Structure 1
Amino acid sequence: MRTFGKIVVIGAGVLALAACGDKQNTAGSGQSSGAAPASASTAAEAPAGSKGKECTAEDVKTTGKFGEAPTITIPDDCDPPKKLIVKDLEPGTGDGAKSGQQLKMNYSLVTWSNKQKLDSSFDRGEPFDLSLGAGDVIKGWDQGLDGIKQGARRLLIIPPDLGYGKGGNGIQPNETLVFVTDAVSVPTNKG
C-alpha cells in the first residue's frame, strides 16, 4: 500500500479515503438517526423510491468475529440513514482512541446502492494505518473511530456528506458507505 497525498493506492484499485469539507456533528456511539418510526402519514410524505423509514444499526446484519473477514448484509426494506451511525459489535479493551493517535485498522466496505463489497483490507491481509482526526481519511472515519478501543469491532454507516459526497474513485455520487472495522492497534494514552 502506497500513500500519495490523501489518496491511498491499494492493490490494483484506488480507494481515496480523503477528507473534504467542514466538520459536522454526528450521531453518538450506538445511536441511530433518531428518526421517528414511519407512520402512514410519514410513508405518504416520503420521496419517490423511499421505503418510508430510515435503517438503524440493527437493520444491517454482519457476521464474523474480530480478526475475521466480515460479511455485511444491507436490508431492502428501509432507506439509508442520513446521519452517521456508530455501533460497537465487539467492545475491545484499554483506552479509547483520541485525535492525533496513529491507528492500525482492518476494514470491509459495502456500498449501500448495490449492496456489494467494494474494498477490504482483510482480503489483502494488510491493515490500514491512519492518524485519527488528521484528515487522512473520510470524515465518517475520523468521527466514527473516535473512542474505539484496541480489539474492538465497529460498524460505521456513513452518509454521503461524511463520505465521498459527489462521488469519485469508484464511489457513486451520494453513496452511503457501510464499514465493519477492526481496531488492530490503538496506542495507550499516557497521562
Structure 2
Amino acid sequence: MSGQVKDRANAQPADKRSTKAERREARIAAAKAARRRKLLAATGGTFLGVVLLIGLAFLVFRDNGTDQSTASTPNASATAPAEDPNAAPTADPNTPANAEFPPLPAGADPALKTKPQVTKGSGDLKELKVTPLVEGKGPAVKSGDTVTVNYVGVKYATGEEFDSSWSRSQAYPTQIGVGAVIPGWDQGLVGVKVGSRVQLDIPASLAYGDGPDSRLPGPLRFVVDVLGVSAS
C-alpha cells in the first residue's frame, strides 16, 4: 500500500508537466527578449552619438568656411585725375595682376618701359599746355574713346608727386572727352597717338580748382604714356 501511495505521489499528470515546460520556455524567451532590448538600446545610443558628432563637425566646418569666404580682402585702388575730388576710380579689374607691365603697344619706343622723371614747372600757368616727349605711331585718340595710359602726376609749383600708375604696376583705363577725368585730360589727350608720351601742364581751372575745398589746389603737371585706345 505504501509503495502505491508513493508511486501515486510521484506520478503527475502529463498536462501539469507540460505547463511547467511552457513556463520555463516563456522565462527563457523573456530573458532573451530583455537582452535584445538592452542590446538595441545600447546600439541606438551609440548610433545617436555618432550622428550628433557628425552634425557638430558639419556645423564647425560650415562656420569656418563662412568666416573665410566672407573675410574682406583689400582692393587695389587708383587715385586718378577724376573730375570729382572725392572720386577714386579702381584699377582695371580685367587686367591680370601678373600681366606684363607696362603693356606697350607693338613698335613702341623703349623709353615707355621706364617711369619718367617729372620736375616742377615755372611761371604762372594760366592755360593748358601739351608738350610731346615721345611721338607715337598708333591711332590718334578721339573724344569718347577709352584709353589705357601710364601716368605720373606732380604739383606744378613744387614737383611733389601725388599720384602714379607706375607705383601700382598697373596701367589705367579711362574714357576721354566725357567728363570721366579732369578737363585737362579730356582736352589734352585728344589727338595724341598711341605710343606717345606727353606732358600736360594743367591750370587749376582745368584740374581740381584752387579753392579751400580742393584736394589738389593749384596747377598740376602730368606725364602721360598712351598705351592703347578703343572706340566706345
TM over 0.5: yes
| Identity, % of aligned positions | 34
Residue 188 of structure 1 and its aligned partner are, at CA, apart by 7.5
Q: Distance in 2 between matches of 1:184 and 1:161?
A: 27
Q: Which has the higher strand share?
A: 1
Could you give the per-residue CA deviations for residues 109-160 of structure 1, whole angstroms, max 9, x where no partner exists?
Answer: 0102332111100111111111110100000000000011111001000000
What is the root-mean-square deviation in Å for CA atoms of aligned residues?
Answer: 2.7
Question: 1:182 is matched with which residue?
Answer: 225
C-alpha contact (below 8 Å) 1:68/1:122 kept by paired residues:
no
Question: 2:166 is matched with which residue?
Answer: 122
C-alpha contact (below 8 Å) 1:16/1:169 kept by paired residues:
no
SS in 2 for 1:66: helix
1:44-63 matches, within 5 Å, as none
CA 1:155–1:16 in 2, change beyond 3 Å: closer, same or farther? Answer: closer
TM-score when scaled to structure 1? Answer: 0.62
- If you compute each CA radius of gyration, which structure gives the higher value, 1 or 2? 2
Residue 103 of structure 1 and its aligned partner are, at CA, apart by 0.5
Residue 184 of structure 1 and its aligned partner are, at CA, apart by 1.1
Specify which structure has the bigger relative contact order, considering alpha-carbon pairs within 8 angstroms and separated by 6 or more residues: 1
C-alpha contact (below 8 Å) 2:152/2:222 kept by paired residues:
yes
Question: 1:70 is matched with which residue?
Answer: 116
C-alpha contact (below 8 Å) 1:67/1:182 kept by paired residues:
no
Q: Which blocks of at least 5 consecutive residues in structure 2 are unaligned?
A: 1-73, 86-109
Report whether the alignment pairs 1:146 with 2:190.
yes
Aligned partner of 2:198: which letter?
Answer: R
Report whether the alignment pairs 1:165 with 2:230.
no
Residue 2 of structure 1 and its aligned partner are, at CA, apart by 7.4
TM-score when scaled to structure 2? Answer: 0.52
- Number of residues paired by the alignment? 134
Q: Distance in 1 between matches of 2:133 and 2:81?
A: 25
Question: 2:99 is matched with which residue?
Answer: none
Q: Distance in 1 between matches of 2:214 and 2:75?
A: 16
1:68-107 matches, within 5 Å, as 68-75=114-121, 78-107=122-151
C-alpha contact (below 8 Å) 1:19/1:139 kept by paired residues:
no
Q: Which has the higher helix share?
A: 2
Question: 2:83 is matched with which residue?
Answer: 18
CA 1:2–1:128 in 2, change beyond 3 Å: closer, same or farther? Answer: farther
Q: Distance in 2 between matches of 1:131 and 1:188?
A: 9
C-alpha contact (below 8 Å) 1:95/1:188 kept by paired residues:
no
Question: 1:58 is matched with which residue?
Answer: none
CA 1:111–1:188 in 2, change beyond 3 Å: closer, same or farther? Answer: same
